[in-house]
Chains A and B, each alone.
Chain A
Amino acid sequence: MTARFALARAAGRTAAGLSRVTGRGSGTTIGGRVTLLVDPDALAQAAAGRELALVSGTNGKTTTRTLLVAALATRGSVVSNGGGANLPTGLTAALTADRTSRVGVLEVDEPFLPKVAAAVKPRAVVLLNLSRDQLDRYAEVRRLAGVWHDMLASMPEIHVVANADDPLVAWAGSASPNVTWVSAGQRWTYDSTACPKCGDILHRDAHGGWRSDGCGLSRPTPTWRVEDNDVIDPSGVRHRVELAIPGQVNVGNAALAAAAAAQWGVTADAALHAMAAIPSVEGRYLQTTYSGRPVRLLLAKNPAGWSEALQMARPDTGLVVAVNARAADGRDPSWLWDVPFEVLRGRHAVATGERSRDVAVRLRYAGVEHVRVDDLAQSIRAAHGSGPVDVLANYTAFQGYRKVVRDA
């Protein structure tokens, strides 16, 4: 360890502590920022000597990171980054705060993956999916896939665990000689109609397979597969997955996490058993009670995520749809028109959040009966019926609900 890094770490700790005692926040971001200002090499220094897995993708980063931490924690302590702090500042803060764990799992914001990988030299990267997200902030997804592709071509020593069902991810992963392919599923296919490699049409079959007309790029043969609620490991053994968290998409995430954990010698049984007990992930899927009604919180941030969340919404519950459009959400809510709200026809929903009017207009055109309510807490009371309520919310609206149910 360099003297400069020791100084940078101490300065970051001081800044984070000041931020906490003055009530400005958890201090994670400011602490990491100060550390990196004093020593720009701090992320690499803090990662030195550890075996890290990086998790990235448009949707499921936090959940898959949590699943993988649970699996690896069966073997010892694991350092990780929570609270959505998935930029270099947050990663630096997480690694400097834990000086002892030899193993770590970090979720990384998609465009930052090459920079972070170059600094921390991970043992493994887990690539989940790529789809449209915050178009005012991110590049086109094809370009993101290209950035990943070039990164993996230049770092062949990294073991890649990648979702073979997503053509963008599969093309990026194909640059590596060292890949475990997992058939983890892909419901949203609207961002991979054109082949990411050659631009020609990708044809899909009914079993999740896909192939490019132009260059022949096709779905790599997966060694891990998902069938219904089972994960099938590379030796063909079927493992029943009974996650406490809902959603077919999370069975796929569990398969990816189990495939990554295998790199550390954790058996599929042990990994999946450890994952099953996780009740919620930083408020996602949290089941609680508010105003006498059982409430479940579901987070969705982009069309692909909303498509999954709409599948998770239970059929006979009250339903709340909450949308904000702050910087962290993306300022432009036009993506609401990409979400298939038509599947809610015949149900009754509450439109809320700072962009409740945009939600209400979208639901009106989708033919979904609804009321509009400004206040998040009131929205739960306004939900149809008197029984359970599923709350579907995007990022900052979701944080608002976490506070509502915490303060209840």
Chain B
Amino acid sequence: MPESAVRIALVFPSLLGTYGDGGNASVLAQRLRWRDIDAELVDVGVDDAVPEQADLYVLGGGEDTAQTLAVSRLSDGVLSRAVDAGKTVFAVCAGFQILGESFLVGAGEIVPGLGLSTAAPTGYRASAPSASC
């Protein structure tokens, strides 16, 4: 893979990938390739270090415990450094929530997020019985 390849890190698909989210990363990589732009897709396992040098970080949706676990695994600041360096983070559903100041899990527990955005729950709603992303 040449130096110029676009590096896409799919962050913790086994935690943040409940809603077909891995497809977003596959589509991004394939569309680059179809335009003759090299693309490298890295599936970041939950035991792996999130790469510092990716161009694009993709985060998807996940369940409450997985979402909380993802925050603790990202608490080393790797995404903050990426954003400071001008890299792009594409986050959906739970992936979006954990970038914010805080998010809701379970029956209404508020968990601190990564603080990369100002997103926070604004109104309490009893948690729905079914998945909602």
Residues of A within 8 A of B (CB): 132, 135-143, 189-191, 193-196, 199-201, 203, 334-338, 362, 365-366
Give B26's nearest chain A residue, CB to CB. Answer: A365
CB-based contact B69/A142 at 8 Å: no
CA distance A43 to B44 in the complex (A): 49
The 8 Å CB contact of B66, one of A138, A139, A193, is: A193
B window 63-106: CB within 8 A of A: 63-66, 68-69
CB-based contact A194/B65 at 8 Å: yes
CB distance from B36 to the nearest CB of A (A): 16
Q: Is B130 an interface residue (CB 8 A)?
A: yes
CA distance A315 to B131 in the complex (A): 36
Give A196's nearest chain B residue, CB to CB. Answer: B65
Chain A residues within an 8 Å CB radius of B21: 337
Chain B residues within an 8 Å CB radius of A199: 65, 68-69
CA distance A334 to B129 in the complex (A): 20
CA distance A30 to B61 in the complex (A): 38
Please give 18 more A-B residue pairs, beta carbons under 8 A apart, in addition to A135-B131, A365-B27.
A135-B130, A137-B130, A139-B131, A140-B63, A142-B64, A190-B17, A194-B15, A194-B63, A194-B65, A194-B66, A199-B68, A201-B46, A334-B20, A336-B23, A337-B20, A337-B21, A338-B17, A338-B22
Instruction: Give chain B's interface secondary structure class.
Output: loop
Size bin of chain B's contact surface: 20 to 34
CB-based contact A365/B15 at 8 Å: no
Inter-chain contact count A-B, CB under 8 Å? 69
0/1 per residue, B100-133, Cβ < 8 Å to A?
Answer: 0000000000000000000000000000011100
CB-based contact A334/B19 at 8 Å: yes
CA distance A255 to B78 in the complex (A): 46
CB distance from B83 to the nearest CB of A (A): 25
CB-based contact B130/A365 at 8 Å: no
Most A C-beta atoms less than 10 A away, residue of B13, B22, B65, B129: B65
